[in-house]
Amino acid sequence: MLFIETARLGLPPDRPFSADVAELRTALVKGTVGGHTALYDGIALALDHFEKASLTKKVLLIVSDGGDNRSRHRLNDIIVRADRVGVLMYTIGLFDENTEDKNPAVLKQLARQTGGLAYLPENATRVRDICSQIARDIRSQYTLGYNSTKASADSGYHQIKVTAVDAKNRQLRVRSRTGFFGLTTSPTPTETELQPRPSPQ
C-alpha cells in the first residue's frame, strides 16, 4: 500500500498479496516521496483490501511520520474500522525534523488501540532490525476470543483489561487491545492479541 496525495496498491491488480520478496521490493520502490500525505486514506484502502485475505490473522505495518494533510478519512473512523476488521497495527515512525506535519502520537495511538507496537527509531538504519522484532512478536502471540451480549446492543467503545499469571502464580506483563467497539447486530467473537512475558524480577 503506497500513499502520497492519493493511496494506491503497490502490487499488480491480480496479486492481492505476495510472499515473494523480490515482488514486494519492486512494489515498494514504486513509491515517490514528496507532496501531500494521505495516511488515513492509505490505511482505509488497506482495510478494504483485507477483505480479500484468506487467513484470519491480519497485520498491517505502517511506515510513516504520522502526518496527514490530504485524507478524506479521519483517524477515529480508521480506528473503529480497524477494530471491526480485526487488524493488528505496527507502526514505524521515520521523521524529517524539518517537517511540521510529523505526528508520532498518531502512530502510537494506532498501535496501542489495535494491540500492536509503535517504534520511533532515531534513524532509518534500525528499520531492518525492527521488522525482525515485529516478525518475532507476531509469531509468539496468543489469540483470546469471547462473546459479549452487552456489546451487541451498544455500538460504543468497550474497554477491556487482560491479566495473566504463570504456573507459579507470578504476574505476567500482557499487551492487548485497549478495548473494542460494540456492534448493533448479533454478538460476534472479539479477538484480543496479546503476548505475555515474565515481569522483571
Are the beta carbons of 158 and 148 closer than 8 angstroms?
Answer: yes
Distance CA 177, CA 164 (A): 15
Backbone angles phi and psi of 40, in degrees to 5: -65, -35
Which pLDDT tens digit goes with each residue over 129-138? Answer: 999 999 999 9
pLDDT band at 101 (very low <50, low <70, confident <90, very high): confident
Is the distance from CB of 90 to CB of 134 less than 8 angstroms? yes
Q: CB atoms < 10 A from the CB of 15, how many?
A: 12
Higher pLDDT, 87 or 175: 87
Report pLDDT digits (tens) over 62-72.
999 999 988 99
Taking a C-beta distance cutoff of 8 angstroms, is the pair 106, 137 a contact?
no
7-16, 60-69, 123-132, 191-200: least confident range: 191-200
Sorted by sequence, the CB contacts under 8 Å of residue 123 that are 6+ apart come out as none
Q: How far apart are CA 97 and CA 120, in angstroms?
A: 13
Superfamily of domain 2-140 in CATH is von Willebrand factor, type A domain (3.40.50.410)
User: So what's the pLDDT on residue 94?
Assistant: 94
What does the domain layout of the chain look like in residue ranges? Answer: 2-140, 143-198
Picking from 101, 23, 98, the residue whose alpha carbon sits closest to that of residue 65 is: 101
Cell of 70: 490530504
The secondary structure of residue 35, as a DSSP letter, is S
DSSP letters, 110-149, are HHHHHT--EE--SSGGGHHHHHHHHHHHHHT-EEEEE--T
- 87 beta partners: 58
d(CA 197, CA 35): 42
